Structure 1
């Protein structure tokens, strides 16, 4: 079986390289309801994602800095480069993944290795790390994540317990769920879907597009739920379940539905999870996954 990732893996020499590629691939794939080349929103263009990918990769490159400091640098640089919070969710997901990656040897890249390393990273976050992440969220003014229950992003750093805050938010935000679950949900339910669709199609962009709809069918997109309510998010999930991945007209119909006039149905959390999955797949040899 041809591994489509190999065409890119040999060009990746660092976690930063993989960050850049993962972000670009996710943004380039023609995913339903998302921005991609030739399909901008009124206030968001494909070039914004390209700029964000570059500045995020640069921010993550300095392994001498704490990972949460690099996450804050990435959020700040993205805001300066694009005047948007276009990749906050990606930054929140990639931070722990990059830190785990930096601790692993090339021979230690099976899913269980990733999970063990991630648990160490997440358990090691201190109040300063929590404040860095909260500052990144505040910088981006993310809807639904600006306040996490009783913990406000403007609290002094000595009061921030990042993982506790994410645990309290996990029911309404799937990115918070990854922090709460040690990324187990991600490795059990997201990475396999993205990998299997890409391998099955033998093409990165086609596989990403199909994985996007499959993930929408399997779980509610929590960004849609926060913006529009659970009933609307459930309707998106139901429509995705009814969409045939092999039918061009049905895929186009779902895309048109998700491109509501104000783009409030943009399934952004699902796209963020795909970018993170691409990072892992680019950094993990194919033989490490068991079919």
Structure 2
């Protein structure tokens, strides 16, 4: 399947919009509710502003880190508050680059990740700081350490190398390190769920399954592993209930009241949506 760069970019933008608008995805902004400090409209704008970046990625222009930084810069120049889509863009940019390279998406994304370089690492650190993103703190090469750039240069660390160092405590890094293994698995589940339940319910069901399968990384970094495991058990209980969508609504209310946001799982879902759209998912 050979697609024009603009078509590939539209799939990435659509993946972001479908992840955003599907409801209820417990604890996340969707079309039915905002957060106090960041709104549904902010996420819509963030998605729209990414389109030129995705076009450049599909054409093979610029490095992965530079493209991620370009996306975050566009959000700040527009005046968007907070961190809207840093994790999603970090996952989607390599996928879009790969889709513009080859019909074999798995092999192409692995190739795109291997081609990352030191400048990608430096640009990624700058983008992370600008986005106000959050990950679990580490002692070595912390994303919040301004001195890390010198060590990255000295050791010649590609962005893929940094992701491999972080895979033990960060879900996004783990996808980079392992060729998007979980995202491809989620895409298969998503396609089955959409075929059986329709688009919105299929996306929500896949989100619950992903949350039940593995503790969310953002919850872990903000609240600790204990609460992340509690949320994982909540998702498992929702899936076992007689009406999992009604249970998801109740779970959503509880998590919003407690300011618990499984944002990393939403990021993985957006990547899975892109893979499925690229493979032919329609609705």
Tell me, yes or no, whether TM beats 0.5. yes
Q: Is the 1:221–1:270 Cα contact (8 Å) retained in structure 2?
A: yes
Question: How do residues 1-291 of structure 1 correspond to structure 2 at under 5 angstroms?
Answer: 13-30=6-23, 31-62=25-56, 63=59, 64-81=61-78, 82-104=80-102, 108=103, 113-144=104-135, 149-153=139-143, 154=146, 155-156=149-150, 158-159=153-154, 160-188=157-185, 190-201=186-197, 203-243=198-238, 244=241, 246-261=243-258, 263=259, 265-285=260-280
Could you tell me how far apart the structure 2 residues matched to 1:210 and 1:69 are? 34
Counterpart-to-counterpart distance in 2, 1:90 and 1:195: 19
2:135 touches 2:221 (CA, 8 Å); kept in 1? yes
The structure-2 alpha-carbon separation of the partners of 1:275 and 1:245, relative to structure 1 and needing over 3 Å to count, comes to farther
What TM-score, normalized to structure 1? 0.84
- Measured after TM superposition, the shift of residue 148 of structure 1 is 5.5
Residues 182 and 245 of structure 1: CA distance in aligned 2, closer, same or farther (over 3 Å): farther
Question: How many angstroms apart in 2 are the aligned matches of 1:273 and 1:115?
Answer: 16
Residues in 2 aligned to 1:100 and 1:270: alpha-carbon distance in whole angstroms: 22
Alpha-carbon offset, residue 32 of structure 1: 1.5
- Structure 2-normalised TM-score? 0.87
For 1:226-277, what per-residue CA distance to the aligned partner results, in whole angstroms no more than 9, with x for missing partners?
Answer: 111111100100111011373443222211121134x2x1110011111111
Query: Partner of 2:50: helix, strand, or coil?
Result: helix
Q: RMSD across aligned C-alpha pairs, in angstroms?
A: 2.2
Distance 1:14 1:266, change over 3 A: same
How many residue pairs get matched?
265
Mapped contact 2:66–2:120 kept (Cα < 8 A) = yes
Q: Which runs of 5+ in 1 are unaligned?
A: 1-9, 287-291
